[in-house]
Amino acid sequence: MADALLSILNTFLGTCCANTQTLDIGRHTYRVSQQLGEGGFSTVYLVADTERGSQFAMKKIYCHTPDMFAKAQQEIAAYRRFRHRNIIRTVYMVLPLYKENLFDVTEHSRASGMCWPEDKIIAYLHNYGKHQGRPGLQAEQESGGDSERLLDTAAEAGGENPQQKPSRRGGYAPVGNADDAEPTVPNGPVASYAHRDIKLANVMLADDMTPILMDFGSLAPARFRAETRTDALRIQDDAAENCSLPYRAPELFDVQRGAEFDERTDVWSLGCLLFALAFNRTPFEDPLDPDSPYSARLMQLIDFMMEPDPQKRPFIDQVIAMTRSLYQR
């Protein structure tokens, strides 16, 4: 399966550069309609199944060096590693189509001079008991079949493809679980990972406004230590390349030998995201408006998550407890 994914990736890299933007994946042909977005190392296109018209987002990853190709492989592996209702799923390298992300929402709010209600902001941070079982890895793994069969299912669902039917918001319902059924994580201890690039633009919104975390190209083990000065410089350079500046934890800016890192680098980024949802801008763009419309408890939560000292910053379980308290009051 891994070889097939890499073959698809190579085919896509070549095909999307052509003027005639069509490509074959399995038994399906897709036409590239338009560019949806672009990052430093990838471009995302809107594509449609030429037979059924079902729509997907397709990511083109630029692999100019062996290291970049290895990183693309790592991203593919990351998508297969995690199963959760709030994490994006894949069909080969074809992603469910979402029409908006949190950055779009805050831009609309900024333009209209509006502020989100506090309970709505808090609602984006946690499911509040909606899912059962093991959180994080494979929390919502479905039985499914192989990717080829699921592509067929997506294209033949009762004559009215779930991707074809527009919602009232103008988007499309995401296609079902489209990963193969191979177990990706053993039933042992859950490994600890950091996303490392949590930001508004990496949280897509499904048509029911469910937040969907995407872009696992920066994923890495959460816990590590800078044993040497060389390690420290490498960690700092890696953060500069992979962690967006407005959301980057302060301990990643000037890394010293002996520094230790854990999941709380992502908690800082999540605090920045929460601030941006509340004020329609990232924390350090402008001085804070003294007339904040939000409760002291919400502002304390943001301050708690954005504690500059990583050893005093909360772990995610503490953040969940605080958000649950805010959400249920």
Helix (H, G, I), strand (E, B) or coil at 194: strand
138 — pLDDT class (breaks 50, 70, 90): very low
More confident residue, 113 or 36: 36
Span 151-164, mean pLDDT?
A: 37
Is 59 part of any known ligand binding site?
Answer: yes
Task: Look at the pTM and tell me if it is higher than 0.85.
Answer: no
Q: Which candidate, 218, 2, 208, 178, places its Cα nearest to that of 89?
A: 178
pLDDT surpasses 50 at 130? no
Q: CA angle 4-41-269, nearest 5°?
A: 110
Say which residue, 260 or 156, is predicted with more confidence. Answer: 260
Is pLDDT of 171 > 60? no
Residue 251's alpha-carbon distances to 197, 227, 248, 293, in angstroms, are 15, 15, 8, 30
Average pLDDT of the chain is 72
Return the minimum-mean-pLDDT range out of 32-36, 146-150, 316-320: 146-150
Strand, coil or helix: 90: coil
Phi and psi dihedrals of 43, rounded to 5?
Answer: -135, 140
Terminal Cα distance for the chain, rounded: 48
Q: Say which range, 125-129, 224-228, 296-300, has the weakest mean pLDDT.
A: 125-129
Which single residue is written with the structure tokens 């800078």?
226
State residue 247's pLDDT score: 94
How far apart, in whole angstroms, are the C-alpha atoms of residue 205 and residue 98? 6
Buried b (16+ CB within 10 A) or exposed e, 105-140: bbeebeeeeebbebeebbbbbbeeeeeeeeebbbbb
**Residue with the larger pLDDT of the pair 261 and 143:** 261
Structurally, how many domains does the chain consist of?
A: 1
Specify the higher pLDDT residue, 288 or 165: 288
Domain of residue 194, CATH code: 1.10.510.10
State mean pLDDT over 170-186.
35
Q: Which of 38-52, 76-90, 140-154, 311-325 has the lowest mean pLDDT?
A: 140-154
- The phi, psi pair for 84, rounded to 5°, reads -160, 150
Most confident of 94-98, 186-190, 288-292: 288-292
* pLDDT given for residue 250 in this prediction: 95
Full residue range of the structural domain in which residue 158 is found: 2-328
Q: What percent of the chain has pLDDT over 70?
A: 67
Per-residue pLDDT, 146? 40
Of 52-61, 70-79, 181-190, which range is least confident?
Answer: 181-190
